[in-house]
């Protein structure tokens, strides 16, 4: 699973927004982060990763089609595909939507939710990560629900204080850059994936999770290592030890598309990230993303994004 971690290295994540949540038993809520909740970024990210950090008490969390997962203080729960999920103190309770329970902080601190029946308390810090590639291979290969145990008390205290400080600074307008918050949340997400990769067999898949096909994972890593290479299905199939038809079938089963279609989209997604994040010449980006000419790149980019690269870069900059 080291290859999964390698794929993660190219995942660019943006900042987040946090809620300070306190529930008392019995309680049960349902939630899903919406694009409009990502108010610290403009435009909103194209894909959202939701997470909760349990700072006290315990709870059950679940997504449709999977058994509920027990969590307790020190656990970070990550939902890589931002599934609609339910969190509660017990099974069998009817959930209510979390959104109407949010109380904005009038003093510029964290928004809060305080809700429940007055019994045993559970506290969480909740947030999101933004990713501009909704088809990112790491997100497609991860389980829908992940749990990371923070570990020792010192580590837990550092994570909680860091999350709280960054969230309050962002809410109060004191955080110099949303990227600061993004780097903190990104490091936690990467640690969750590392621990998942270290403890999960690449051949084992849970219900509702894409098959962890090690051959397809190898093919993905090869493509991402050399996006600019003039790949063919035959060459890729030879390197992973399959026929072209077998690779096409297994690759599509995991990613939903054929290898060359996947490669073309990843090249354009990578190009869009570089257009957004730098003033590099378009001709250089085209060449380093595998296009033989700037004209061919511009035609492909316009088909995918609705505008040629120069105009798309200008419009994106103006929308920030």
- Asked if residue 133 and residue 188 are part of one domain, the reply reads yes
Residue 264 CB burial class (10 angstroms; 0-12, 13-18, ≥19):
middle
- Asked if residue 193 and residue 223 are part of one domain, the reply reads no
Residues contacting residue 194 through CB under 8 Å, at least 6 positions apart:
5
- Asked if residue 7 and residue 125 are part of one domain, the reply reads yes
Q: What is the distance between the alpha carbons of residues 210 and 75, in angstroms, rounded to a whole number?
A: 24
State the helix-helix crossing angle for 233-240 and 259-277, rounded to 10 degrees: 100
- Asked if residue 298 and residue 191 are part of one domain, the reply reads no
Report the CATH number at residue 180: 2.60.120.10
Q: What is the distance between the alpha carbons of residues 75 and 79, in angstroms, rounded to a whole number?
A: 13
Domain boundary among 199, 234, 256: 199
Tens digit of each residue's pLDDT (9 = 90 or more) over 1-12 = 567 777 777 677
Strand-pair category, 111-116 with 19-24: parallel
Is this model's pTM higher than 0.85 or not? no
Q: What is the per-residue pLDDT for 33?
A: 87
Share of the chain above pLDDT 90, in %: 41
Domain residue limits at 105: 2-199
Paired with 69 in beta bridges are: 61
Domain boundary among 199, 228, 247: 199
Helix (H) / strand (E) containing 130: strand 121-131
Residue 205 lies in a domain: no
Tens digit of each residue's pLDDT (9 = 90 or more) over 153-185 = 556 666 667 766 766 665 566 655 555 666 677
Structural domain total, the chain: 2
DSSP 201: -
- Asked if residue 160 and residue 45 are part of one domain, the reply reads yes
State yes or no: pLDDT of 204 exceeds 50. Answer: no
- Asked if residue 107 and residue 17 are part of one domain, the reply reads yes
- Asked if residue 183 and residue 248 are part of one domain, the reply reads no
Residues contacting residue 238 through CB under 8 Å, at least 6 positions apart:
none
Domain boundary among 167, 199, 231: 199
């Amino acid at each position: 699973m080291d290859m999964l971690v390698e794929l993660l290295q190219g995942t660019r994540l943006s900042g987040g927004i946090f809620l300070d949540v306190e529930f008392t038993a019995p309680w049960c809520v349902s939630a899903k982060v919406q694009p409009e909740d990502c108010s610290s970024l403009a435009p909103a990210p194209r894909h959202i990763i939701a997470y909760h950090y349990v700072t006290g008490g315990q709870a059950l969390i679940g997504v449709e089609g999977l058994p509920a997962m027990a969590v307790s203080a020190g656990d970070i729960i990550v939902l890589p595909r931002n599934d609609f999920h339910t969190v509660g103190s017990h099974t069998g309770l009817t959930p209510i939507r979390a959104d109407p329970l949010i109380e904005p902080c009038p003093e510029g601190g964290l928004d809060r939710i305080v809700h429940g029946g007055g019994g045993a308390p559970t506290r969480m810090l909740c947030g999101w990560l933004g990713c501009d590639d909704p088809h990112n291979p790491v997100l497609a290969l991860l389980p829908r629900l992940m749990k990371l145990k923070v570990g020792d008390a010192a580590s837990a205290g550092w994570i909680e204080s860091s999350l709280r400080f960054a969230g309050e600074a962002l809410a109060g307008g004191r955080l110099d850059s949303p990227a600061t918050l993004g780097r903190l949340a990104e490091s936690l997400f990467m640690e969750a994936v590392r621990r998942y990769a270290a403890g999960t067999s690449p051949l084992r898949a849970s219900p509702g999770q894409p098959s962890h096909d090690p051959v397809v994972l190898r093919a993905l890593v090869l493509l991402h290592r050399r996006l600019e290479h003039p790949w063919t299905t035959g060459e890729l199939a030879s390197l992973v030890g399959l026929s072209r038809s077998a690779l096409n079938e297994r690759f599509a089963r995991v990613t939903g598309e054929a290898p060359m279609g996947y490669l073309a989209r990843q090249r354009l997604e990578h190009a869009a990230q570089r257009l957004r994040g730098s003033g590099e010449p378009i001709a250089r980006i085209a060449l380093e993303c595998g296009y033989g000419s700037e004209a061919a790149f511009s035609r492909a980019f316009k088909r995918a994004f609705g505008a040629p690269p120069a105009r798309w870069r200008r419009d994106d900059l103006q929308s920030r």
